[in-house]
Amino acid sequence: SYELTQPPSLSVSPGQTARITCSGDKLPKQYTYWYQQKPGQAPVEVIYKDTERPSGIPERFSGSSSGTTVTLTIRGVQAEDEADYYCQSSDNSGTYVIFGGGTKLTVL
């Protein structure tokens, strides 16, 4: 079955740049989306269509794509960015949704 692979965890100091990767062999053919989930809360979409940022999401969040890997970049990480981050894409037909396993971002 199709899988999206993320690193389980990442630690950065405040003010540094966090880069969270997501790999999958169908990613060149389908858009990727990113969600932020803080403890006890529902997920929030922070990037759509690989690189677009929804209104209300800080500019320090950005997305990029290269081949079978997409990256969520958070520049100038703040304490409030500590959360779990999930990538999401779909199969070639665009009907079945797949999530990555999630990356726990810790702000030191």
Binding site for other proteins (CB under 8 A): 1, 30-31, 33, 35, 37, 42-45, 48-49, 54, 84, 86, 88, 90, 93-102
What minimum distance in Å lies between the beta carbon of 15 and other proteins? 28
Q: How far apart, in whole angstroms, are the C-alpha atoms of residue 6 and residue 108?
A: 20
Q: Are 52 and 59 in contact (CB under 8 A)?
A: no
Which C-beta is closer to other proteins: that of 61 or that of 86?
86
Is residue 48 left, alpha or beta, with left meaning phi > 0 and alpha meaning psi from -120 to 50?
A: beta
What is the residue type of 108? L
Which C-beta is closer to other proteins: that of 50 or that of 75?
50
Q: Which two tokens stand for residue 68?
A: 């079978």
What minimum distance in Å lies between the beta carbon of 48 and other proteins? 6
Which C-beta is closer to other proteins: that of 62 or that of 99?
99
